[in-house]
Structure 1
Amino acid sequence: MSATALPIPVLETGRLILRGPEERDFEAFASFGASERARWVGGPYPRFRSWGAFLGAFGHWALRGFGMWMLECRITGTTAGRIGMIAHDGWAEPELGWHIYEGFEGRGLAFEGAQAARDFAGRHQGLDRVISYIDPANTRSARLAERLGARPESDGTLLGQPVTIWRHPSVKAT
């Protein structure tokens, strides 16, 4: 089954294409999942668990009507990460989340992709003023949330780990 079998919208920014997952994305997805970078999202994971999470991305779109897009660099066609809206079982409300793969950090791609995803979700999916769960030690994600205009709202726990809940501003007001 191809990614086009589900109605996953495609978004384009100056440097990125946000699109549904394709099988060609799995190697980058699994490498991220096996890396120390995945510690912020419950990893590192064995390859088999990454495969299940990769397939779960399709299920999230099918069940909820929203999900995480893969980030494709427009010039190279390389998979740079994933960004989008998630609302897993146990989440208090939908979250804007991001994973930037090794070698793509520090270029502003997460900011560019997160702005596009948040804007689309707020304007077209009824997901305005979403949150981001961020581990207090994940200073890079906290800086990104702040750059996106989000503000710390409260402290909480997610999957048994302490988090700061960041509230994003309304995109409908812009």
Structure 2
Amino acid sequence: MIVVPALKTERLLLRRPTFEDWPDFRDLMKSERSVYMGGPFLTVHAWGDFCQGIAQWQMFGFGSLSIEDIFTNRYVGRVEINYGPRCPEPEPGWQVFDFAEGKGYAFEAATEMRRWAFEEQKMQTLVSYIDPQNQRSQRLAEKLGAELDEKAEKQDPDDLVYRHSRRG
């Protein structure tokens, strides 16, 4: 049986996604906020992405976690490690809803997810595939200590690839 961890930070609970998270995630993926992830998406494609993040736990032992503010119990976004045909290497990813933007949730959640991947899963490296127009994600990757890796295989030909290492 696969155990999906519940990770805690000072302000956040990173927990197993639930069906109750689906409507907010669907709305995010159908909105302009998803443009740097290939969206906006149709509902059926948003559903596939939502389920993929859950299914990866069974296949790889990592996947998506919902981000919840522990003080309000509000679902504020998603953090994950993606892998498979869409991602040549394991990739930490993050999405927060517009009301949660600018509060440091993505940084806090991504920091904890990377810690878990490196310390508990013994991963040696991770990469973030980022659209060159997505300056917010580029800044976050850099704040996390990731560095551009021009030699890494790309998810999409135009992607920037930021490498996260254990030392970062």
TM-score (norm 2): 0.92
Q: Does 2:152 match 1:152?
A: no
Q: What is the match of residue 53 of structure 1?
A: 49
Question: Which whole-Å CA distance do the structure 1 matches of 2:84 and 2:25 have between them?
Answer: 19
Q: Sequence identity of aligned pairs in percent? A: 35
Letter in 1 for 2:112: A
Question: Which whole-Å CA distance do the structure 2 matches of 1:117 and 1:95 have between them?
Answer: 11
Post-superposition shift, 1:71? 0.3
Q: Does 2:121 match 1:125?
A: yes
Post-superposition shift, 1:90? 4.2
Instruction: Output the aligned Cα RMSD.
Output: 1.7
Q: Does 2:34 match 1:38?
A: yes
Question: Which whole-Å CA distance do the structure 2 matches of 1:57 and 1:146 have between them?
Answer: 24
Question: Which whole-Å CA distance do the structure 2 matches of 1:27 and 1:152 have between them?
Answer: 34
Q: What is the match of residue 98 of structure 2?
A: 102
Question: Which whole-Å CA distance do the structure 2 matches of 1:165 and 1:54 have between them?
Answer: 23
> Gapped runs of 5+ residues in structure 2?
none
Q: What is the match of residue 24 of structure 1?
A: 20
- The equivalent position to 2:64 in structure 1, one of 54, 68, 93, is 68
Letter in 1 for 2:13: I
Question: Which whole-Å CA distance do the structure 1 matches of 2:86 and 2:37 have between them?
Answer: 15
Question: Which whole-Å CA distance do the structure 1 matches of 2:70 and 2:38 have between them?
Answer: 29
Q: What is the match of residue 169 of structure 1?
A: 165
Question: Which whole-Å CA distance do the structure 1 matches of 2:51 and 2:163 have between them?
Answer: 28
SS state at 1:7 partner: coil
SS state at 1:69 partner: strand
Post-superposition shift, 1:37? 0.8
User: For 1:54-103, what per-residue CA distance to the aligned partner results, in whole angstroms no more than 9, with x for missing partners?
Assistant: 22222111111101211011111111111121112142210111111111
TM-score (norm 1): 0.89
Whether the 8 Å contact between 1:84 and 1:118 is mirrored in structure 2 is no
Post-superposition shift, 1:6? 4.7
Letter in 2 for 1:158: Q
